[in-house]
Amino acid sequence: MFTRRRLFTSIGNKMFLIAFLSVLSGLIMIGVFAYSTVYVLIKENQEKSLQSSVVHVEDYLKWYMLNIQSQLLYFSNVDIFESLSRENYMLLMNNFITLYSNDINAAYVIEQGELLVISPELYKHSVSHQWLEEVDKQASQWGFWWSDPFDSGFGRAVTVAKSFRSSDKTRTITVALELNVESFASLGESRPTDKTIYIFSRSGKFVASNTPIDHYSQKLQRDEMVRILGETLIEKGKDFNTIHTPQGDFKILRSDNNRWDWIVFSVVNEAKAYPLLTSLQKQFLLILLIWITISLIISYRLAAYIKKPIRTIIRQMNAGSLGRLDTRIEIKRNDEFGLIATHFNKMMLNLNDLFNNLKEAEERKRVQEMKVLQSQIQPHFLYNTLNAFYWLSETERSREIGPLIQALMGLLKYSIDKVGDVVPLEEEVRQLHNYAELMKLRYGPVFDLDIVIPDSIAAQATIPKLTLITLVENSIFYGLSKPNHRNHIIISSAESDAGQLLLEVSDTGPGMKEDAIRDLFKKQETRSTFKGLNNLGIRNIQERIQLYYGYEYGLSIENDEEEGLLVKIRLPFPSIS
C-alpha cells in the first residue's frame, strides 16, 4: 500500500507528469493548428505561380533568341553579303537597327579582326580593336557565339556573333550584334506585380531583371538580391528554395531551359504576395506566446511546490545546527519531503534521548558516545545538501532532485535505525553509493569511487555502521587539498589466511605525514567544526571495531605522500562459500 501511494505522491513522478502534460498539450495545439490550416495549399499555389512566371520568361527568351539568330543568319548569308555593296549592306543594317533601336545597340562586320561595316557609324569609337579580335576569334571557333554581360559605355550589353565563309572559301567573315540587356526588362510586362525575374549567365554574371528602379533604395535592394542569387548558382538542381534578406523572406525557382544556357530566377516576396501566409505566421507566434506563458506558469507553480518545503526544512536545520534538539519539522505531505521531515524529527528525538542517556552512568559513557556519534548526521551536511537541492530547482534541473532525495532519505534512515548495531557489508556499500552521489552534487566531479567487493562477501560479512562511509569521507576531504586533482578512491576486499576479512580503502590524494597519522589515533578532546556527514574519526572507528569484535581486529594505515593513503580494515569472517 505504501509503495502504491508513493507512486502517485513522489516528487519526481509529479514533476514528470506536469512537464509531460505541458509539453504534450503544446505539441497537440501546434499539430492541430498546422493540420487545420491551408499552409500546404498556399505553398503549392505559390510554386505553381512561380513556375508559370519562369515558363513565361523562358518562352520570351526562346522567341527573342530565335529572332536574334534569324537576323544573324540573314546578315551572314553569303549570297546577300556578296550581292550587296558595302554601302547597301550598311543601309540594310541601319534599317535593322532603327527597327530594333531599343533592343540592339549596334551591328558590325569583322574580317580577320578588322572592322568592315558598323551601324551606327559613331559606335565604332566605342569598340576596341582587342574586342573585335576576341569576337572574331570566338565566332570563328564556335560558329555561333555569345558573350557574358559587359559594360559597353552605353549600358550593360551582350554581344552575339555568327561567322560564315565567302563563296570562294578564302575569307572568314563575322557578323555581330550588341544587345542592350536593359531592354530585357520588358520580358515581364505581363508578369504579376508581386514577382520579379532575374537572369544570369552560366558563369554567374548578372544579365537582366525586370525590377523597377525608381530610387536609390530600390537599386540597393536589387543589387543585394543579385548577390544572393549569384551565390545560389553553386547549388545543383531546380529545387524550390527560400532565401532570407533584410527586406524579408523570398521564394525562388530557377530554370535554364533556353538556347543560350542562361539561368532564370523567379522571385516572390512572401509577405507581400501571400498575406494569408503572413497571417498564418502571426497566428503561430500568438499560439507560441500562449504556450510559453502557460509553461512559465506551470514551471513557477512547480518550483514553488518544491521550494516551500525545502525552505521550511532548511530553517529547521539551521535551528538544529545551533543545538536546539527540540526542533521539529512540521510538514504534512506524503511525498519525499514528508519522509525527510519524519526521519529528521526521529533523528532529533534520538539525539535528544542519546544525550540524556549519556548522563545515566559513567561506565556506559564511551559506548553511548559512540552511538551518538554513529547516529548523528551533521546539520551542516543536511543544510548544504538541501541547499544544493534548492539550487537544482532554481536552475531547472528539478528532475534530478527525486533520486538525490531518495539517497538522502536512505542515509537518514540508515543513520537512525538500529543505533549501535553492526550491519551487513552490502548495506554499508549501498549507503556508501548514496553518500557518494550527494558529495558529487556538492563538490562536483572531484573524485571517482570504485568498489570491488564480490557479492558473496558483501552478503555474508558484517561491519560497524558508517565505517566505510567515514573513511571515504576523509579521503574526499583530504583530496580537496590537492588542487586540480581528481581523487581516485578504491575499496577492495580479500580473505586472509587466518580466516579474516581484509578490506582496503585507497586513494590518490595528497597523502599524510607520519606525525599526522599518529594523531588520527589519539583521542579527540573536543568536537571539531567538521561539516561532513558525521564527526566519526579514525580513533572512534578503531574503538568501535575492537569493541564489537575484539582487539585483534581494527585499522592500519600505510602512507605515501606522493600517491595517497591505504587504510586496511581487519574484520572477522566465517567463511567464503
Instruction: Please provide the DSSP assignment of 281-328 as one string.
Output: HHHHHHHHHHHHHHHHHHHHHHHHHHHHHHHHHHHHHHHHHTT-TT--
Specify the pLDDT at position 451. 92
Residue 526 has pLDDT above 50, yes or no: no
- Answer with the residue of higher pLDDT: 58 or 134: 134
Burial of 195 (0-12, 13-18, 19+ CB in 10 A): buried
The owner of cell 540594310 is 92
Specify the pLDDT at position 92. 86
**Residue 15 confidence class, pLDDT cut points 50, 70, 90:** low
Domain boundaries, the chain: 40-275, 306-420, 423-577
- Lowest mean pLDDT across 82-96, 242-256, 341-355, 542-556: 242-256
Measured CA to CA, the distance from residue 94 to residue 107 in angstroms comes to 8
Residue 6 has pLDDT above 60, yes or no: no
Specify the pLDDT at position 375. 46
Top mean pLDDT of 240-244, 402-406, 417-421, 489-493 is at 489-493
Q: What is the chain's mean pLDDT, rounded?
A: 76
Specify the pLDDT at position 474. 85
In this predicted model, what pLDDT tens digit does every residue of 543-575 receive, in sequence order?
A: 878 877 888 889 988 887 667 888 999 998 865
Specify the pLDDT at position 368. 43
**Residue 29 confidence class, pLDDT cut points 50, 70, 90:** confident
**Residue 426 confidence class, pLDDT cut points 50, 70, 90:** very high
Residue 1 has pLDDT above 60, yes or no: no
DSSP structure class, residue 573: -
**Residue 492 confidence class, pLDDT cut points 50, 70, 90:** very high
**Residue 372 confidence class, pLDDT cut points 50, 70, 90:** very low
Residue 127 has pLDDT above 80, yes or no: yes
- Strand 263-269 and strand 447-452: the pairing is unpaired
Specify the pLDDT at position 308. 78
Share of the chain above pLDDT 90, in %: 4
- Answer with the residue of higher pLDDT: 10 or 156: 156
Give the burial string for 275-292 (b: 16+ CB within 10 Å, else e).
eebeebeeeeeeeeeebe
Instruction: Calculate the CA 228 to chain-centre distance.
Output: 28
**Residue 429 confidence class, pLDDT cut points 50, 70, 90:** very high
Residue 162 has pLDDT above 70, yes or no: yes
Residue 536 has pLDDT above 70, yes or no: no
In this predicted model, what pLDDT tens digit does every residue of 172-214 receive, in sequence order?
A: 889 998 888 777 656 544 444 556 788 887 777 888 787 777 7
Average pLDDT over residues 468-482: 84
Average pLDDT over residues 52-81: 78
The owner of cell 543545538 is 323
- Answer with the residue of higher pLDDT: 552 or 494: 552
| Residue-by-residue DSSP string for 111-173 | ETTEEEEEESGGGGGGS-HHHHHHHHHHHHHHSEEEPPPEE-SSSEEEEEEEEEE-TTS--EE
Candidates 2.60.40.10, 3.40.50.10470, 3.30.450.20, 3.30.1780.10; correct CATH number of 40-275? 3.30.450.20
Is there a contact between 256 and 202 (Cβ–Cβ < 8 Å)?
yes
Share of the chain above pLDDT 70, in %: 76
- Which cell numbers hold the place of 527? 568536537
DSSP structure class, residue 568: E
Per CATH, the architecture of 423-577 is what? 2-Layer Sandwich (3.30)
**Residue 38 confidence class, pLDDT cut points 50, 70, 90:** low
Specify the pLDDT at position 491. 93
In this predicted model, what pLDDT tens digit does every residue of 209-240 receive, in sequence order?
A: 877 777 888 788 888 888 888 777 766 545 55
- Answer with the residue of higher pLDDT: 218 or 8: 218
Average pLDDT over residues 409-437: 81
Is there a contact between 189 and 170 (Cβ–Cβ < 8 Å)?
no
Is there a contact between 531 and 384 (Cβ–Cβ < 8 Å)?
yes
Total Cβ atoms within 10 A of residue 48 = 10
Measured CA to CA, the distance from residue 268 to residue 295 in angstroms comes to 37
- Answer with the residue of higher pLDDT: 480 or 562: 480
Handedness of CA 303, 305, 308, 311 (dihedral sign): negative
Specify the pLDDT at position 191. 45
Residue 362 has pLDDT above 50, yes or no: no
